[in-house]
Structure 1
Amino acid sequence: MPPRIVYLATADARGHLMRAQLLAHSLRAAGASVQVLTTSDEGARFLAGFGIEAPVLSRHYAVQFDREQNMLRRETDRNVAHYMFRPGRMLRDIFRLRAWFREADLVVNDSFHPALLFMGWMPGWRNKVVHVYGDSLRHALESNFSGRMPGWTAKMFGRIVAWQIDRSRARIAHDFAYGAPEHDGRGGHRLATPVAVVGADTEPHDDLAPQAAVYLNPHFEETALADGLERGLADAGVPAHLVGEGYAHRTGWHAQDEHWIEMAARSAFIVSAPGMAALSITAVYRKPILLLLTDQPEQAINAERAAQLGLQHRTVVWRGRTEDFAREVATAAGELLALADGGTHAMEGREAAVARLQHWTALLSRLAARR
């Protein structure tokens, strides 16, 4: 019987969903049975664009952001507390998940859904759960209350969360800059973040003007920010392929593009918030990137690591002033344009992307088969 895997991908950001669809397709091609679940109707529609049918587990749990992708900490804490302690929310989801557990050899939690955090340390369930997370996300979660609660309370929260995570069957920490797979011998694994694979015919197009490949996740909805970004790129003389669900109503923007990776691999540079997926694409396809930074703890950590590791990038911070933002974007775009090399690394990147997917597929298949 083929291994049976349930993959729960939270819909807070599209990186979790993108990873889910990549791995689901790869695991199915390797002979596994994979059922993807998610946490919002928008997330289910996103996955459907990649041919993945994903039932919505719960519409009550979500990290909260404003229209500028600034994380709303108090609102998030309140939402999580209501989810965990109100009858008919997390408890209901646990009862629903029990049915999936009975049929599954492995249950993947991508990333840190509270119901699976709970089930991942409970006897009888924990031996099927593997947590998938970016290292920066785990750090942000464990330090969530640092500076907002008394020091001992914040540390206790972090230790409890770490204990819950480490009780599970396995953990897969991923990062855009990891090299060869590593295993600590106690269920902890380190893998390079998987990325989409470009087509075998993706080559640079000398007849096309250098272009920026822009992707902004759905939390970006502020009109003034989009105005500044568009104006800055235009002032730098850079055409842009614009993708962002929050700006789908704007002229020139697309809500979703299943083939965005092809544009990114051919682009002069990428424009995105410093999520793990965007930085992984940058590293694999060797593209410069313009990082759009807002108040999002995980992404701030990623931006710092990008700088430490020497990734070709520029950072602009949205502070609510369109004119200043446009000037900063134009300056950064001009500097990145000077680093552009077209799509000359697309085929090397393709090989690296295939290798990353193979590592993930082999590990998850092995974990499921051991059941």
Structure 2
Amino acid sequence: MSSRILYLATADARGHLMRAQLLVHALREAGAQVEVLTTSEQGQRFLQHFGIEAELLSQHYAVQFDSEQNMLRQATNRNVAHYLFRPGRMLRDIIRLGRRLRSADLVINDSFHPALLYMGMLPGWRRKIVHVYGASLKVALLNNFEGMSPRWFGRLFGWIVGRQIDAARARIEHDFAYEVDDAKAPMLYRLPTPVALAAELPGQAAAGAAVYLNPHFSEPSLADALSAGLGDAGLGAHLVGEGYGGCSDWLGVDPLWASRAAQAQLIVSAPGMAALSIARVYQRPIILVLSDQPEQATNAARAAQLQLLHRVVTWRGDAGDFQRQVAQAAVQLTAAAAPEPTGAPGRERAQARIDAWVSCLLNL
């Protein structure tokens, strides 16, 4: 009898959804029955581009950002409080998920959806729930509670959430720099962030720079300055970002973006786990567009520690300054880069990552 898996991928950004579509396809190929839930209509449409039909759980829980991908902490805390304590929100989702858990062998919570955090500490339900999260995201989540007022309440709430995470059947902590054979403790697994296998593209399809900005980026002058900076460096660009879909040369979604990034001279993205993983696996230099998002700041610092070939640029509202930052970073990275002559080693590394995830989840 095949394994029955329920996969809940939050749609706050697209890293959770990209990871979900990679693993869902791989798990189905391995014989598992996998159903997918997500938390926004935009997330549903994104997954459809990758051949995944997802059911909408609810749209009440979401981290809040501005148009430059800066996290809005007060708005996020307010949204989470409304989700937790208003009747008909989290309680309704718990009742709905409870029905679905009856027929599931395993439930994947990617990442930190409050309903499954709560359910993951209760008898009966906890034995089926696995929390999947980036190493830097967990630190950012718990640190966020430290800044709440009154301080004792923030610390108490952080302690409760930490206990909820640890109480579930298992936890899978991923990071762009982990290796396949990393391990930590029973029921806490360390795995490298999964990466798409790069498809072969026609020679003319390879871009000088493969750019991806997640949907929280929608400030027009930022996009224009970024494109202009790459042009100043003599690079053509393949531009992808839902926040800019339909603007100039930007595409909203490109299912082949990972393949284009694997074969580009240069990657440009915010320092999320997915983009950094592609850069590491396919050994491509990357420009990191840094904003006020705690876990991504941690990721950028990690990239520096690991000596990943990268440069950091920061948008401060000055288009001319940002254009110069991007151009300078692009010139430096393309001069220093020595890309692999073939993508075969990268595809082997990507396949090993996916295989490790499938093995771990099916064993659970």
TM value normalised by structure 1: 0.95
Q: Secondary structure at the match of 2:280?
A: helix
User: In the TM superposition, what are the counterparts of 1:273-352 in structure 2 within 5 Å?
Assistant: 273-342=270-339, 344-352=341-349
Alignment CA distance shift 1:94-1:333 (3 Å):
same
After superposition, the C-alpha distances for 1:142-173 in whole angstroms (9 at most, x for unaligned) are 11033443554443332221111000000000
Structure 1 alignment gaps of length 5 or more: none
After superposition, the C-alpha distances for 1:229-248 in whole angstroms (9 at most, x for unaligned) are 01111111110000000001
Q: Does 1:84 align with 2:84?
A: yes
CA distance in 2, matches of 1:171, 1:336: 36
Q: Shift in Å at residue 208 of structure 1?
A: 7.7
Q: 2:212 corresponds to which residue?
A: 215
CA distance in 1, matches of 2:305, 2:159: 27
Q: Shift in Å at residue 336 of structure 1?
A: 1.1
Note if contact 1:181-1:192 (Cα within 8 Å) is conserved in structure 2. Answer: no
Note if contact 1:271-1:292 (Cα within 8 Å) is conserved in structure 2. Answer: yes
Amino acid at match of 1:306: A
Identity between Structure 1 and Structure 2 (%)? 61
User: In the TM superposition, what are the counterparts of 1:240-259 in structure 2 within 5 Å?
Assistant: 240-259=237-256
Q: Shift in Å at residue 254 of structure 1?
A: 0.4
Q: Secondary structure at the match of 1:218?
A: coil
Amino acid at match of 2:353: R
Q: 1:198 corresponds to which residue?
A: 198
Match of 2:236 among 235, 239, 248: 239
Q: 1:6 corresponds to which residue?
A: 6
CA distance in 1, matches of 2:274, 2:40: 20
Q: Does 1:110 align with 2:90?
A: no
CA distance in 2, matches of 1:166, 1:187: 9
Structure 2 alignment gaps of length 5 or more: none
CA distance in 2, matches of 1:238, 1:313: 16
After superposition, the C-alpha distances for 1:210-255 in whole angstroms (9 at most, x for unaligned) are 6000000000000111111011111111100000000012111101
Note if contact 2:206-2:263 (Cα within 8 Å) is conserved in structure 1. Answer: no
CA distance in 2, matches of 1:343, 1:239: 20
Q: 1:359 corresponds to which residue?
A: 356
Equivalent pairs, count: 364
CA distance in 2, matches of 1:337, 1:256: 26
Note if contact 1:210-1:342 (Cα within 8 Å) is conserved in structure 2. Answer: no
Note if contact 1:285-1:345 (Cα within 8 Å) is conserved in structure 2. Answer: no
Alignment CA distance shift 1:103-1:258 (3 Å):
same
CA distance in 1, matches of 2:339, 2:321: 29
Q: Shift in Å at residue 345 of structure 1?
A: 4.7
User: In the TM superposition, what are the counterparts of 1:133-144 in structure 2 within 5 Å?
Assistant: 133-144=133-144
Amino acid at match of 1:366: N
Amino acid at match of 1:290: I
Q: Does 1:39 align with 2:36?
A: no
Amino acid at match of 2:6: V
Q: Does 1:172 align with 2:169?
A: no
CA distance in 2, matches of 1:322, 1:171: 42
Q: Secondary structure at the match of 2:218?
A: coil
Amino acid at match of 1:285: Y
Q: Shift in Å at residue 303 of structure 1?
A: 0.5
Alignment CA distance shift 1:234-1:155 (3 Å):
same
Q: Secondary structure at the match of 2:336?
A: coil
CA distance in 2, matches of 1:317, 1:247: 19
Alignment CA distance shift 1:100-1:227 (3 Å):
same
Amino acid at match of 1:248: G
CA distance in 2, matches of 1:158, 1:125: 22
Note if contact 1:267-1:343 (Cα within 8 Å) is conserved in structure 2. Answer: no
Amino acid at match of 1:155: R
CA distance in 1, matches of 2:206, 2:278: 21
Deviates more, 1:260-269 or 1:130-139: 260-269
CA distance in 1, matches of 2:67, 2:342: 35
CA distance in 2, matches of 1:28, 1:210: 32
Alignment CA distance shift 1:100-1:210 (3 Å):
closer
CA distance in 2, matches of 1:20, 1:329: 31
Note if contact 2:211-2:268 (Cα within 8 Å) is conserved in structure 1. Answer: yes
